[in-house]
Structure 1
Amino acid sequence: MTRFALRVKMKSGHQVVNNLSHDSTIEDLKQTLSSLSNIPINKLCVLSGFPPKVLDITKDNLNLSSCGLSSGDTLILEEKTVSDSEEKAKTASTLGSRDNADVQQHIESPGILMKFVVPADNSCLFTSINFVLNGKVDESGTFGPYMRKLVAETIKGDKHSYDEAILGKPVDEYCAWIQADTSWGGAIELAILANYYGIEIAVVDTINAIINKFGEDQNYALRVFLLFDGIHYDPLFMEPFDGGKIQTIFPTEDERILRDAEQLAYEAKSSRQFTDVDKFTLKCMVCNILLKGQVAAQEHAHSSGHANFGEV
């Protein structure tokens, strides 16, 4: 049986369905999705494609390979009332902002691009970079401090490129700050680490549904992917359909993987899977005050000198 894998997005998260084949029917698909989501079959609303449109699941005997689905596709699963099908279709047809002419045709993929969730411990950027470089989590806990020190040494060695105007604070102060395990890495660290490791780091921004490529101007041969929701980074990896080893590093000329990452960005934005940095709550771990939004946290840090914040 040729495996027919699908990525399924729903309110409870995302899962990979790989128990179907090209000969499976719409009825088989509905039973699988209903069991997976606990949504009754008559209330299933399945969206597919880009922009997402309601998939016709009324023809129970039609096989999956004949209904416009391909192995590797993403389905968005919602629960509807029996009478709101037309409204769902109208809403789904307006999701996303790209013209249909820009939608790339699906190319058979060897797997599904997925997110690996790392701890929200102020070092998620460094943990994610270690994961994509090595294909596994750093159990020793040494990689984050190593990269923080590497960033600081790079900045100190090139004060012309990294001056106070770029860093937002004096060079020595920034170098001390980034080596603290309570400090968050960002664009400066991504640029430095991309150049150090000689690899392009593509950051999938789910707020703006764009991909920012660090090291792109260096024409590196290899690329890795991170997912960014506004305050947190997670690594992306390819889960192969054949159950083999995951893949985290890809050739930069592989446009197929880049399109998969772009689709993830648009899907995440459409379903609002990002953190609004103006509304999320942080706690100052020094004085325990609660702060609303990134700007408030920055102002508190400037006025108090406190730099240890935790997500609430």
Structure 2
Amino acid sequence: MSFALRIKTKAGQEVLRNLTPEHTVKDLKTQLSSISKIPRDRLHILSGYPPKPLDLTQDSLSLSKSGIKSGDTLILEEKAPPPKEVTYKSHISDFGANSSGILMKKVVPADNSCLFGSIYFALNGKIDDSGTAAPYMRQVIAQTVANDPETFSEAILGKPNDEYCTWIQDDKSWGGAIELAILSNHYGFEIAVVDTINAIINRFGEDQHYTLRIFLLFDGIHYDPLFLESADGNNIQTIFPTDDEKVLRQAEELAREANASRQFTDVNKFTLKCMNCNIYLNGQLQAREHAQTTGHMNFGEV
């Protein structure tokens, strides 16, 4: 028994008739790739109204069990080539564990992707000039969330799973605790976030007992990576053994000093002023919405 599928591509549409319910998802993708000239691993397949992406990751699944029915319309799009995966250079042995140096902040661009830019710097010891790190990390997060809807429920995400996956891949969306936890697990590093609002360190991945740790500084709106600079200024270290208690104490002291000198923007408790356009804003939600709409990231307390 064969069934017909209406296939829509940028070039037009046609009907695919040479498959049966016993054929596999892999067989379908092979046929769709041939029709559209899109590589199989770059196929983005949508169906329904409004069109939604189909999860066709299980190549061995029969079409009868895939949810696709005869008469369905499949819309084919081509995914952008995946950005090159972030790799890291080892900055661990520059000084040696528990060695002396000054913990400092590296300022990354305030472009709505400061969390991802900070992690890239911590893993690589340099700014991501290519601009590929943030899209890659956003894609990793979206795939992780989509593949585990039970863990990443609407109650956890604050929005439906599929809506979140679309939202996080928007370059105007900000990352936070959920994204930090996922990226910690993805890279196999503990991520220690120095929170200058509360003068504490939040350690993501601590329960996984990773052997390596990176540090980020968070001021209520913006993330920056921390690095240890050698006394002579010739070397930096961005990745640390998790048993390096000396640098952890430095980070704790940095949190206390930043808090005492009010080097933070508590957007939950204070009226804010956009220093770019002089608009007054109330609370975190308005600040985020204004930043996403205008690209302005320089806020001051009033």
* Alignment TM-score, normalising by the size of structure 2: 0.61
Task: Provide closer, same or farther for how the CA distance between residues 240 and 157 of structure 1 changes in structure 2, counting only shifts above 3 A.
Answer: same
Residue-pair matches, total: 198
Deviation of 1:171 (Å)? 0.8
Q: Deviations along 1:242-287, whole A, 9 cap, x unmatched?
A: 333210000000000000000000000010000121323469x9xx
CA distance in structure 2 between the aligned counterparts of 1:118 and 1:264, rounded to whole angstroms:
18
Query: Residues 59-208 of structure 1 correspond to what in structure 2 (within 5 A)?
Result: 109-208=99-198
CA distance in structure 2 between the aligned counterparts of 1:195 and 1:227, rounded to whole angstroms:
19
CA contact (8 A) 1:183 1:308 kept: no
2:293 is the alignment partner of 1:311: no
Deviation of 1:182 (Å)? 0.6
Deviation of 1:119 (Å)? 1.2
Task: Provide closer, same or farther for how the CA distance between residues 215 and 180 of structure 1 changes in structure 2, counting only shifts above 3 A.
Answer: same
| Letter aligned with residue 252 of structure 1 | T
CA distance in structure 2 between the aligned counterparts of 1:109 and 1:253, rounded to whole angstroms:
12
Cα RMSD of the aligned pairs, angstroms, is 2.5
Q: Deviations along 1:124-169, whole A, 9 cap, x unmatched?
A: 0000000000011111000011101110000001111111000000
| Letter aligned with residue 293 of structure 2 | N
Give the secondary structure class of the aligned counterpart of 1:291.
strand
CA contact (8 A) 1:227 1:236 kept: yes
CA contact (8 A) 1:115 1:235 kept: yes
Give the secondary structure class of the aligned counterpart of 1:272.
coil
CA contact (8 A) 1:268 1:274 kept: yes
Task: Provide closer, same or farther for how the CA distance between residues 242 and 150 of structure 1 changes in structure 2, counting only shifts above 3 A.
Answer: same
| Letter aligned with residue 163 of structure 1 | S
Q: Deviations along 1:96-146, whole A, 9 cap, x unmatched?
A: xxxxxxxxxxxx852100000111111100000000000111110000111
Runs of 5+ in structure 1 lacking a partner?
Answer: 1-107
CA distance in structure 1 between the aligned counterparts of 2:274 and 2:144, rounded to whole angstroms:
30
CA contact (8 A) 1:281 1:293 kept: no
| Letter aligned with residue 118 of structure 2 | S
CA distance in structure 2 between the aligned counterparts of 1:268 and 1:280, rounded to whole angstroms:
19
CA contact (8 A) 1:125 1:185 kept: yes
CA contact (8 A) 2:112 2:292 kept: no
Q: Which has the larger radius of gyration?
A: 2
2:197 is the alignment partner of 1:210: no
Question: Of the candidates 214, 228, 232, which is equivalent to residue 222 of structure 2?
Answer: 232
Task: State the match for 2:5 in structure 1.
Answer: none
CA distance in structure 1 between the aligned counterparts of 2:236 and 2:154, rounded to whole angstroms:
41
Task: State the match for 2:210 in structure 1.
Answer: 220
CA contact (8 A) 1:148 1:178 kept: yes
Task: State the match for 2:243 in structure 1.
Answer: 253
Task: State the match for 2:36 in structure 1.
Answer: none
2:272 is the alignment partner of 1:280: yes
CA distance in structure 2 between the aligned counterparts of 1:130 and 1:170, rounded to whole angstroms:
28
Runs of 5+ in structure 2 lacking a partner?
Answer: 1-97
CA distance in structure 1 between the aligned counterparts of 2:157 and 2:229, rounded to whole angstroms:
37
CA contact (8 A) 1:190 1:201 kept: yes
CA distance in structure 1 between the aligned counterparts of 2:191 and 2:258, rounded to whole angstroms:
19
Task: State the match for 1:268 in structure 2.
Answer: 258
| Letter aligned with residue 218 of structure 2 | F
Q: Deviations along 1:43-97, whole A, 9 cap, x unmatched?
A: xxxxxxxxxxxxxxxxxxxxxxxxxxxxxxxxxxxxxxxxxxxxxxxxxxxxxxx
CA contact (8 A) 2:118 2:225 kept: yes
CA distance in structure 2 between the aligned counterparts of 1:282 and 1:157, rounded to whole angstroms:
38
Work out the percentage of aligned pairs sharing the same amino acid. 66
